[in-house]
Chain A
Amino acid sequence: MIKFWTKRVQLGTLTRYPQLDKELQKIQKEIKSHVKKKFAGSLAIRMVDSGSCNACEAECNALANPYYDLERLGIYFVASPRHADVMLLSGVMTFNMTPHVKDAYEQMPEPKWVITMGDCPAMEGVFEKSYAINAPANNHIPIAHHIKGCPPSPREIMEGILEFLKKM
């Protein structure tokens, strides 16, 4: 453990993608100020997967890595829809998940918003309508904002959240 901290102190802050980090910093700053203004500094997001390929989830997990570090900006991924302001929905709304997604939505306290991420929930992706797919998601729950991409990169998700914060 000592070794870890010694290395940490010796290295200081390190960046290998200065241009990207600069752009990210700008987005982060804006997100932080909007979250502060509109959500009193804390925006709770409940991530629900309604039948994705897991790439969207992987990118959401990446938001917590040291490069993006969303929690620093006051955005938390919470464990229950009852703690959430926003539901982040990915996937094609499978037949089997539809009732559970609706249930999770009902459990969220008002005011609440749903942001869809990735091409799947809007049926803009490669998947076609099948017996097991109920997308588009807006047939089932109201959607406030959509983040495009297959999957959207962490940066695109951050930009999407910022867009949503700006328009609300």
Chain B
Amino acid sequence: MRFIARYAKELPNEFEIITVYEGKTHSEKIPKDTPKIKILAKKHPAAIWFERKMYDDFGIITEDAFDTRPLVHQERFPRDLHPLRKNFSEINVQEDIYRPYKYEAIQGDSVFEVAVGPIHAGIIEPGHFQFSMAGEDMLHLEVRHFYKHRGIEKMLEGKTLQEAKPIIERISGNETIAYQLCLRDIYLQATRQELPLALQKRHAFLLELERIIHHFTDLGFIPNDAGFGAALAFGSKLAEDARRMMQTLTNHRFGFGAISWQNGFVDLLGIKEELERLRQEVAFFKEWIMDIPSLWDRLDTTGRLDIKKALKYSCVGVVARASGVAIDRRINPFYIEHGFTMASEISGDVAARFKVRLAEVENSLEMMEHFLEEDETSMILQSVQDGSYSAFAESSLGELYMAIDIKEGKIKRFFVRDPSFINWQALHIMMRSDIIADFPLINKSCDLSYAGNDL
């Protein structure tokens, strides 16, 4: 049974702990004055961040926890403040005294540590990586994040879905369409409405467009991190072309505000031509890049994640599919009807993740053509009814899960589990047999989100 998420809700007199598995949700109520839960991280390692986060957010203590360090709250954040509790309403938190964070480190003769971050050398998001090294070999890596924590879960409480929409769109710029699709599904559940097929197709088109933009960027950056810069020039050019298509279709280069209740494809012929051109470029890119032995020498066998570990760590998305795990939220009749085939590799290394991305781009371009439709459908939303709703979407990174509780038309609890939140926790497994110079390559091949992870 695949573990998906674990989070808490505050009720008037108790806490409710929700644990989400594939096809099953488990709920448990604990008293408010002695909030204690049993550890799940021993069975599902990926649960550890959820449990540490629950302490920071609510002060819920995990019994027999082997790791009680704060996760979201860093050195200067006051202890004993639990911002997600309903009685917490402070918006100006003063810096407290500096309490050093104790990193996981391997000790021993000639073992040393390398600290990287939070600000990195390139144009990327902030996060910290602490390596334990013996010579060039990486013995261990601790991934430490939440530098970008914006307090979005709290920010959205008390808002209507309409008011929350622009914020949800901007949780993670790379996955904005996927976040909007989750919100769309929650809207539909809350208004007890069905989505017309034409709109469903338009939204699916935009999701695939977002996917190819993200994958094009990675298909450039992965070889670039192995020292093959020409691929970056090629990949970033394709990404820019696709982004301009997004601009034409949605009036925004990233698609903020793109998921609406109105269909209106403009210039079908132009888009078809553009898709055909992209397909040719991808074919050229594939033929070219597959034929460079010195590049594949770097990509093959680097950053291996075997299927056992991928399952144990509940991995999702490209990372899971490259290790031979068949997880994709698009495995459903609607997508299969429009030409979906799941990309999959078994070697679980950087090369496999690269190939999965390439195959997904090819498949997405094919599906996008089938999603095109000339249609002017629009729908009118009914009023939102109270309740607990949840939705999944397959973003370019992997499976996204969103849950919203609505009471009197307003958000009572907002929870999102970004695919990165799971996959980051498996990153340290991938570098056991590699040297530190491989780290950027491995990290880029997973291309996880920091913003979506940190919220």
Which residue numbers of A lie inside 8 Å of B, CB to CB? 1, 3-4, 7, 16-17, 47-62, 64-67, 77, 79-81, 91-92, 94-97, 99-100, 104, 125-133, 150-151, 153
A61 and B123: CB pair below 8 A? Answer: yes
Q: A54-B449, A67-B237 are in contact. Are A97 and B147 (CB under 8 A)?
A: yes
**B76, B91, B118, B217: the one within 8 Å of A61 (CB):** B217
Per-residue contact bits, chain B 149-173, to A (CB 8 Å; 1 contact, 0 not): 1111011000000000011011111
B331 to chain A, nearest CB (A): 27
| A-B contacts, 27 listed (Cβ < 8 Å) | A48-B119, A51-B149, A52-B173, A53-B171, A53-B173, A54-B451, A55-B174, A55-B254, A60-B123, A62-B243, A65-B236, A65-B237, A65-B240, A66-B237, A67-B240, A79-B122, A91-B148, A92-B150, A95-B93, A96-B77, A126-B170, A130-B152, A131-B83, A132-B150, A132-B151, A133-B151, A150-B256
Q: At the interface, yes or no: B32 with Cβ under 8 Å from chain A?
A: no
Q: Which of B193-201, B284-292, B346-354, B404-412 contacts A (4 or more CB under 8 A)?
A: B284-292
Task: Tell whether, in the assembled complex, residue B148 and residue A94 are in contact, meaning their CB atoms are under 8 Å apart.
Answer: yes
B173 touches A58 (CB 8 A): yes
Q: Is B121 an interface residue (CB 8 A)?
A: yes
Give Cα distance in the complex from A91 to B454, angstroms.
13
Interface centre among B174, B288, B451, by most A CB within 10 Å?
A: B451
Nearest-neighbor residue (CB-CB) of B292 within chain A: A1
B74 touching A104 by the CB < 8 A rule? no
**Also in contact, A53 and B451, with CB within 8 A (given A4-B288, A79-B121, A131-B151):** yes
In whole angstroms, what is the CA distance A62 to B254 when docked? 12
Q: Which are the 10 A-B pairs with shortest beta-carbon distances?
A: A55-B173, A132-B151, A79-B121, A65-B236, A130-B151, A53-B173, A126-B166, A54-B173, A51-B148, A53-B170
Does B253 sit within 8 A of A, measured CB to CB? yes
- Report the count of interface residues on B (CB-CB < 8 A): 59
A127 touches B121 (CB 8 A): no
Assess whether A77 is in contact with B166, with CB atoms less than 8 Å apart.
no
Q: Does B233 contact A (CB under 8 A)?
A: yes
Specify which of A50, A58, A100, A150 lies most central, judged by the most chain B CB atoms within 10 Å of its CB: A58
Residues of B within 8 A of A97 (CB): 118, 126, 147-148
Q: Least Cβ distance of B317 to chain A in Å?
A: 16
Where chain B touches its partner, the secondary structure class is: loop
Q: Per-residue CB proximity of B106-129 to A under 8 Å, as 1/0?
A: 000000000000110111111000
Add 18 more A-B contacts to A54-B450, A65-B237, A95-B149 (CB < 8 A).
A3-B287, A48-B126, A49-B125, A49-B148, A52-B451, A53-B171, A54-B173, A56-B173, A57-B124, A58-B217, A60-B123, A96-B146, A97-B118, A99-B76, A99-B95, A100-B126, A126-B166, A129-B92
Report the bound CA distance from A94 to B74 in whole Å.
Answer: 11
A60 to B93, CA, bound (A): 31
Bound Cα distance A99, B287 (Å): 47
Contact of A127 among B93, B150, B256 (CB under 8 A): B150
User: B119 — which chain A residues lie within 8 A by C-beta?
Assistant: 48, 81, 100, 104
- In the assembled complex, the Cα of A97 lies from the Cα of B75 at a distance in Å of 11
A54 touches B174 (CB 8 A): yes
Instruction: Tell me how far the C-beta of A3 lies from the nearest C-beta in chain B, rounded to whole angstroms.
Output: 6
State the CA gap A3–B240 with chains docked (Å). 23
CA distance A51 to B127 in the complex (A): 11
Q: How far is the CB of A92 from chain B (nearest CB, A)?
A: 6
Q: Decide: B173 and A151 in contact? CB cutoff 8 A.
A: yes
A49/B124 in contact, CB under 8 A: yes
Q: Does B230 sit within 8 A of A, measured CB to CB?
A: yes
Docked complex: B232-248 residues within 8 A CB-CB of A: 233, 236-237, 239-241, 243-244
Q: A100-B118, A130-B91 are in contact. Are A66 and B236 (CB under 8 A)?
A: yes
